[in-house]
Structure 1
Amino acid sequence: MKSTLEIKFIELLKKPVKTSIELQEIEVIGRKLELQYREETSDLISELKEVGYDFNDVWQMVNTKKPYPKAIRILLKYLPKDYHDKNKEGIVRALTVKEAVGIASPLLIVEYNKTPKNKLALRWAIGNAIYATITKNDIESILPIIQDNENGVSRQMFIRALGKIGSEQAESTLIKLLDDDEVILDALNALVKLKSKKAKNKIILLVNHPKSSIRNAAQKALIKYNSCNNLL
């Protein structure tokens, strides 16, 4: 639930024309909100400093190019806490790194499942983190997410993740998703990466799909298929 300060901030930002006083108010409220967000994660930041990482907030981690392997387990410790969505998303995006592979996915999946469906941006960010950190052990846990169309486009990166790590069950699920226009492009992407022989005939049918974006994607997929000797 948004605070009164956040609601005011959003209202001011949405105004197409702003007075000089309103612009000043946006700046003041923005600074206040930033302080609130940082205060909320002060314990997390303190623990990061104890292991040698001099960050002032989680978004500094997201934007740094330096690795932070010792921070992963600390981030996972704080991931389940009831933070503001901005801080929660910052932690999730900070876990979207190779150092979290094989460690972060189980807790990220739990976090996705407990996040309300209306928080689309946050759920999508969690799926993106899964894409970066998935292992074969995660496939069984993400298939129910992918198969539930009520999860909408937040499924996109979960689906693409299956293209990195395949299995027969994953392949079958992806082929079924070629009937789901909401995520069909993501399923195509994953199946091409898997070089799925089983999907090829169904992809051929998509060349006649009513949507031009899907027709074009299917045509490009077939070109990639035909460039692979083992699929000729």
Structure 2
Amino acid sequence: MNSLLSELRSFQEQWRAIWLDEDLERRIRRRDELIEWKSEILAKDEEPLVEALRFRGFVGKSVWDLVNTREAYPSLIEPLSAHATRGYLPPTREGIFRSLTVKESDQQVLGMLIDEWVNGVDRDEKFTRWALANAIAYVAKGTRYLEQIGALLDEDEYARDPFVRRLNRSERGRQILADRMQEIAQ
């Protein structure tokens, strides 16, 4: 994991640097090389997850193949949930959280997602954090979770958006949201 994280950070540094190159052809060539390199890094990172999913009948190449698919995949929820707590790179974790944002995810999945949020997982990764919040807000069906969702609101305006949208669906949720936002503002 550490070597893959180092590679990902190196990729990010080089990605920023290519845009400074004035030679357009060289910049395009280097961009394409970097995109290929990032794909290789993420494929290496996902290997254990994809293997576990294939054991359950998955035929895709990446967890991202599950995101926004119309097909249900109830047999994949358990391995997705088990791998969600592992130390994957942020893009892989984001794909896992997005893949768990489906009606087949149950209360056990919700508990794991909330634990990940409370433990501050990926706090510095805004897209991963948003995907986690979105999964929690989606899986927490019904009004019995409104208080719990309200308690999860924090100062991160980007990541809390799914919670705000979820709470705004009912009068009780709007009251919880107003109270919690007042607490945060103080």
Equivalent runs, 1:183-202 vs 2, <5 Å? none
Distance 1:46 1:117, change over 3 A: closer
Equivalent AA in structure 2 for residue 24 of structure 1: R
Greater relative contact order (Cα 8 A, min sep 6): structure 1 or 2?
2
Distance in 2 (CA, whole Å) between partners of 1:129 and 1:123 is 10
| TM-score between both structures, scaled by the size of structure 1 | 0.65
Q: Does 1:29 align with 2:34?
A: yes
Partner of 1:47: 52
Match of 1:172 in 2: 175
Alignment of 1:33-112 (within 5 A): 33-112=38-117
Partner AA of 1:120 in structure 2: K
The count of residues paired between Structure 1 and Structure 2 equals 176
Q: How far is the alpha carbon of 1:97 from its aligned partner?
A: 1.0
Alpha-carbon offset, residue 17 of structure 1 = 6.0
Q: What amino acid sits opposite 2:60 in the alignment?
A: F
- The one-character-per-residue Cα deviations of 1:49-75 (angstroms, maximum 9, x if unpaired) are 111110101111114221111111110
Q: Counterparts of 1:15 and 1:67 in 2: how far apart (Å)?
A: 44
Q: 1:145 aligns with which of 152, 161, 165?
A: 152
- Which segments of 5 or more consecutive residues in structure 1 lack a partner in the other structure? 183-232
Structure 2 counterpart SS, 1:98: coil
TM-score, normalised with respect to structure 2: 0.80
The DSSP-based 3-state class of the residue aligned with 1:8 is helix
Report the CA distance between 1:171 and its aligned residue: 4.8
Q: Quick check: which has more Rg, 1 or 2?
A: 1
The question of whether the paired residues in 2 share the 8 Å contact of 1:105 and 1:138 is answered with: no
The alignment status of 1:156 with 2:156, answered yes or no, reads no
Contact 2:90 2:122 in 1 (8 A): no
Question: Structure 1 residues 16 and 133, CA, compared in 2 at 3 Å: closer, same or farther?
Answer: farther
| Between 61-70 and 82-91, the greater mean CA deviation after superposition | 61-70
Distance 1:178 1:4, change over 3 A: closer
Higher mean displacement: 113-122 or 56-65: 113-122
Q: Which residue number corresponds to residue 118 of structure 1?
A: 124
The residue type paired with residue 20 of structure 1 is: E
Of stretches 82-91 and 107-116 in structure 1, the one that deviates more from structure 2 is 107-116
Alignment correspondent of 1:225: none
- Where does 1:14-25 land on structure 2 (aligned, <5 Å)? 14-15=19-20, 19-25=24-30
Aligned structure 1 segments of 4 or more residues deviating by more than 3 angstroms: 14-18, 135-141, 177-180
SS at match of 2:101: coil
